Structure 1
Amino acid sequence: MTWSTREIADLAGTTVNAIRHYHALGLLDEPPRSYNGYKQYGVRDLVSLLRLRRLAGLGLPLAQIGTTNESDTTESLRRADTVLREEIERFRRSRAGIAALLRAGAPVDTPSGFEEVGARLTASDRALIHVCTRIHPPAALSRLQLMVCAESAEVRDQFHALTPGASESTRDHLAEDLAQGGAHWRSTVWLEPTESGAHAPYPLRVTEQAFVETLAALYNDAQRDVLRRADVALRAQRRTAGSWRAGPGVSPVRSHALVASPRP
């Protein structure tokens, strides 16, 4: 008994295009043809096709199936198992991230770990946190999460409502409010030197440059001016008190002011 390409594809639970692909790769021999030019597949072809489907279904790359012996195939299975295990873990993390976003009602671009406050953050703040997750070490990110969660909603709203024409008194008062907790998260002033050392993903110079350029791109002149003033206030606190007043979950902070001064 023989089958056409369509018939053997149906029997094997695959498609005509898949069979043609197997032929092109040399994984399935071309069968004889009938007098009218149609392929005629037999039982051996069906068994070969089912074997290919089985190996492909286990995750073996098609390019390896036809060029490996039994021992090589066993090793390929082990490698495929490792790949699948990593994929399963990636899917698990993805599902957990999706669940956290849905549970908190946070925007889809909320950085991982900040889902609970994502709905309260502006697009600019989310973008800054994304950059921070790349340039700061894990210990600093844990502190950053605490600081973002502890930020006053009133202060945050006032900061984002700032326009370039904001008055001097408005800027001063808001800078004082930002510095009141001992540090503000839109600066790396709070980052300890030990946290920007061996475990940091990039050298300090690269981290600072990336942070400053991100602030310049995300916030207007008045907002950057307020951040600069807050940093000045924090340095003054250090000079007068000898140590930083720590906010929620915040240790003594650095004396770097990474906020660019406003344009004239």
Structure 2
Amino acid sequence: MAWSTRELADLAGTTVNAVRHYHQRGLLDEPDRRTNGYKQYGVPHLVRLLQIRRLRDIGVPLGEIERLGAEVGTSRDVLVAIDAELKETIARSERTRAEIAEMLRHGSVTEVVTNVPEGFARVAPRLSPAERSLTLVYSQVFEPTAMDDVREILEADADPATAAFESLPADADEETRDLLVNQFADTLAKTFVTYPWITTPEAHLQQDPASAGAAMGETIRALYNPAQLDVLARATSLARARAGG
């Protein structure tokens, strides 16, 4: 009995392209050909293809299969490495499932799925669009322990000054800005006292300070209007003084 490439692929539960790829990698011997030029695959080809598929199904890299050549199987070290990867994949999947459950529990799927990082589902509905976007950027800039603090800050009772800042229109007059600067500075000062690392975040960054600072600066400038940026700059400076930093 001889099989064509298509028949062999179907029997092995794979594709013609995969068979050709294994030929190119030297993993599967080329078959004999009929007088008309068509390939004739036999049982040894089918068994070898099934062996390759079995190894690939459990995660053995093609490079490892190439290294073994005609031998069947893999090394203990490779299996241990694959098992470690699977363990991490399972843990990641469990975290993802827990996050999805949190999203569904709080009924904020559309706001949460793409707009806040892991762990922020509960607080997402009460955040402004800018705050949600900031948390995403922060999650790439700050280490996990710092993000825990960010989540605590956002989960605290709603602060009138923060709400006023988030809704401040671009054409806010100077009097409105001055009043908000003073109020918002108090909010920021309390945060700086409770979480002093915020004023000197270098030890809590996942990236180099220059890259992190540029990312955060660009994000804030893109998300907030000129009036908000003015209030934020002045309130931050005033808050540092009030916090003693």
TM-score bracket relative to the smaller structure: 0.7 to 0.9
Please list, as runs of the form range in 1=range in 2, the aligned pairs for 1:198-237 lying within 5 A after superposition: 198-201=203-206, 211-231=216-236, 233-235=238-240
The Cα shift of 1:27 comes to 0.7
In structure 1, distance between residues paired with 2:73 and 2:11 = 29
Residue in 1 aligned with 2:37?
Answer: 37
Residue in 2 that maps onto 1:248: none
Q: How far apart, CA to CA, are the structure 2 residues paired with 1:31 and 1:117?
A: 62
Q: Who is 2:84 aligned against? A: 82
Contact 1:158-1:174 at 8 Å conserved across structures:
yes
Alpha carbons of 1:254 and 1:20: their partners in 2 closer, same or farther (altered >3 Å)? Answer: farther
In structure 2, distance between residues paired with 1:134 and 1:57 = 33
Q: Is the 8 A contact 1:192 1:254 kept in 2?
A: no
The counterpart of 1:129, out of the listed 115, 130, 135, is 135
Kept in 1, the 8 Å contact 2:32–2:40? The answer is yes
Count of residues in correspondence between the two structures: 238
The AA in structure 2 aligned to 1:96 is A
Deviation at 1:28, TM superposition (A): 0.8
Q: Which residue of 2 aligns with 1:177?
A: 183
Cα distance change on mapping 1:129 and 1:35 into 2, 3 Å: same
Change (3 A) 1:182 1:167: same
**Mapping of 1:10-159 within 5 angstroms?**
10-68=10-68, 73-104=75-106, 105=108, 106-107=111-112, 108-152=114-158, 154-159=160-165
Give how far 1:144 is off: 2.1
Verify the 8 A CA contact 1:118 1:126 in the aligned structure 2.
yes
Measured in 2, the distance between the counterparts of 1:7 and 1:182 equals 70
Residues 141 and 207 in structure 2, CA contact (< 8 A), matched pair in contact too = yes
Q: Is the 8 A contact 1:140 1:191 kept in 2?
A: no
TM-score for the superposition, normalised by structure 2: 0.78
Structure 2 segments unaligned to the other structure (5+ residues): none
Distance 1:154 1:166 in 2: 17
Distance 2:104 2:142 in 1: 27
User: In the aligned structure 2, how far is the partner of 1:219 from the partner of 1:6?
Assistant: 59
Change (3 A) 1:183 1:210: farther
Partner of 1:192: 196
Change in 2 beyond 3 A, CA 1:48/1:128:
same
Is the 1:27–1:65 contact (alpha carbons within 8 Å) kept by the matching residues of 2?
yes
Inter-CA distance 179–82: structure 2 relative to 1 (3 Å threshold): same
Q: From the two aligned structures, give the one with the greater helix fraction.
A: 2
Q: Distance in 1 between matches of 2:144 and 2:12?
A: 50
Q: For residues 207 and 12 of structure 2, what CA distance do their matches in structure 1 show? A: 53
Report the 3-state secondary structure (helix = DSSP H, G, I; strand = E; otherwise coil) of the residue aligned with 1:183.
helix
For 1:67 and 1:111, the matched residues in 2 are separated by: 41
Question: What is the DSSP-based 3-state SS (H/G/I as helix, E as strand, rest coil) of the residue aligned with 1:60?
Answer: coil
The offset of 1:18, in angstroms, is 1.6
Q: TM-score, normalised by structure 1?
A: 0.73
1:169: how far off? 3.0
In structure 1, list runs of 5 or more residues that go unmatched. Answer: 239-252, 256-264
**Aligned equivalents of 2:104, 2:45: Cα separation in 1:** 49
Residue 190 of structure 1 contacts residue 254 of structure 1 at CA under 8 Å; is this kept in 2?
no
| Worse overlay, 95-104 or 36-45 | 95-104
Supply the AA of the counterpart residue of 1:131.
Answer: V
Report the AA paired with residue 137 of structure 2. V
Identical aligned pairs, as a percentage? 42
